[in-house]
Chains A and B, each alone.
Chain A
Amino acid sequence: MSLLKDVLERGEFGVTAEMAPPKGTDLSHLLECARAIKGRVHGVNVTDFQSAVLRVTSLVTCKLLKDEGLEPILQVTGRDRNRIAIQGELLGASVFGIENALGLTGDHTVVGDHPQAKPVFDLDSVGILQAATTLMSGKDMVGIELQGTPTFYLGACVTPRFDPMEAQILKMEKKIKAGAKFFQTQAIYDLDTMREFIEKTKHLDTKILAGIIPLKSAGMAKFMNNNVPGVFVPDELIERMKNTPKEERVEEGIKMAGELIRQLREEGLCDGVHIMAIGAEENVPRILDAAGL
């Protein structure tokens, strides 16, 4: 059974981390990071051509991480594959013993490094979750019986500060109906965002892992405020970054992330956290140390 499912359903505080496969065939850095966080997290999301940028596939990387003894979470987007390929990918994952999958619509091809590509979007996030749920019932999307049935703990993502919020929650409800059992959120930096989000979703039966992206500089915070939908870094955090000497900023970001996780946990504002260290996964254990986890 999925470790992540086990932990979350027992009501323990779940921890997941995100890893992006490399662009190229050298996975040594990824595996180094994996070894560093092994035993500290309950699941590792492997991104699926994140930001529509070509990389090694999520499935292959998940398999390698599994062989290293980690618990992979396969991310599947609808951008690059039609429903045949998506179902095939899920079946393949199951053959490898991968038990967690996250259904995402995916960024559009035009924001990535191959803007000339033909975008697919045959299935959206809800469609992918529907497809996975159908496969778990022993049939494919057209009702043909499968030889061997996969089992997945299904997840999805949500943006707690989307405008208008109601539209996002409505979609979240659909994802739950389609089979999502847990949600990882877009990065949050303040407790109020999470308080409001929890209030608005308390009628929903699901697990929520708050997204954590450690800051590295004030510039990064400002960039996220201006460019990443639904992300809001409060001024005081930006100030704090500014007032930290340059060489200590990464450390300060780790400390801030740790503090936030601790507060979220104390107030019971989430069922766990999802840490996105964006290329610096080796720092994940230090964030967890700072959070007392």
Chain B
Amino acid sequence: MIISQNKPFEEVLAFLENSEKIIIVGCSECATVCKVGGETEVQEMKEMLEEEGKKVLGTTILSPACNLLNSRKDMKQFKEELKETDAILSLACGDGTQTVAKVAKPEVYPGSDTMFIGEIERIGQFEEACKACGECELGWTAAICPITKCAKGLVNGPCGGAKDKKCEVSNDNDCAWLLIYDKLKDLGKLENMMSMREPKNFEKGNAPRRINLRNQEKETANA
């Protein structure tokens, strides 16, 4: 899931300094789970902005905001308001916010910071799990990501920095490589760790990346 958190309200207010009339949008998926852009947060934001003397012309929860066709359709409900409004405030993630900006004319501002791709450990508790590096390494690392969970993204085993099995970067983090080591040992696969890894190919992570399944299918058909 995409993990996000709210921006400080002062920052949001500064974006909207010259905007009187505002539409607020949220997102039904990740941003709702993160308690950043769900029904409750959109309503709270509405109240806070109204207290600051802004006029909120409308609110909605896009489902989900990052679906271009869906957001285009959903935003049509504000046909009249969109002519009038000065700005749209999005509480979706950075992806959803950009989608909204594509389908709406008025200025769109983010009300949240997008943090990482992560796992929901329990309600309100998230941990980064994947850097979307473009070539998954989990197949040889006992499914613990060295690119994400090791602070240095190392591919050849632990650096010398771990103390009491915690990472040199923070005592709150287990050394990913020692977790990988323990797990591989349990699985009887320690030889995975002994294999020499070539330096990782970061070319696969160059932004912006695109995938077009239809073209891919055509290519396979032609091959």
Contact = CB atoms under 8 A, between A and B. Distances in A.
B196 A177 contact: yes
16 contacts: A83-B199, A107-B168, A108-B152, A119-B152, A124-B152, A124-B155, A126-B197, A130-B196, A141-B199, A162-B158, A166-B181, A170-B181, A170-B190, A170-B193, A171-B158, A178-B196
B168 A229 contact: yes
Contacts of A105: 152, 154, 159-160
B151 to A, nearest CB: 6
A126 B159 contact: no
Interface in B136-194: 151-165, 168-169, 177-178, 181, 190, 193-194
Given A119-B152, A167-B181, A178-B196, A162 B160 contact: yes
Contacts of A122: 199, 202
B52 interface: no
A170 B194 contact: yes
Nearest to B161: A229
Contacts, number: 86
Contact of B159 (A110, A119, A125): A125
Contacts of B153: 121
Contact of A167 (B161, B168, B177, B196): B177
Interface string A180-206: 000000100000000000000000000
A121 B196 contact: no
> Which of A119, A122, A124, A166 gathers most chain B CB within 10 Å?
A124
B17 interface: no
Interface in A85-121: 105, 107-108, 110-111, 119, 121
B10 to A, nearest CB: 22
Interface in B92-134: none
A173 B194 contact: yes
A127 interface: yes
Given A105-B152, A171-B156, A227-B163, 9 more contacts: A107-B161, A107-B168, A124-B154, A130-B199, A167-B157, A167-B181, A170-B157, A170-B190, A173-B194
B163 A229 contact: yes
Contacts of B165: 163
B198 interface: yes
Interface in A123-138: 123-127, 130-131
Interface string A28-43: 0000000000000000
A110 B157 CA distance: 20
A105 B158 CA distance: 10
B181 A127 contact: no
Nearest to B198: A130
A164 interface: yes
Nearest to B177: A167
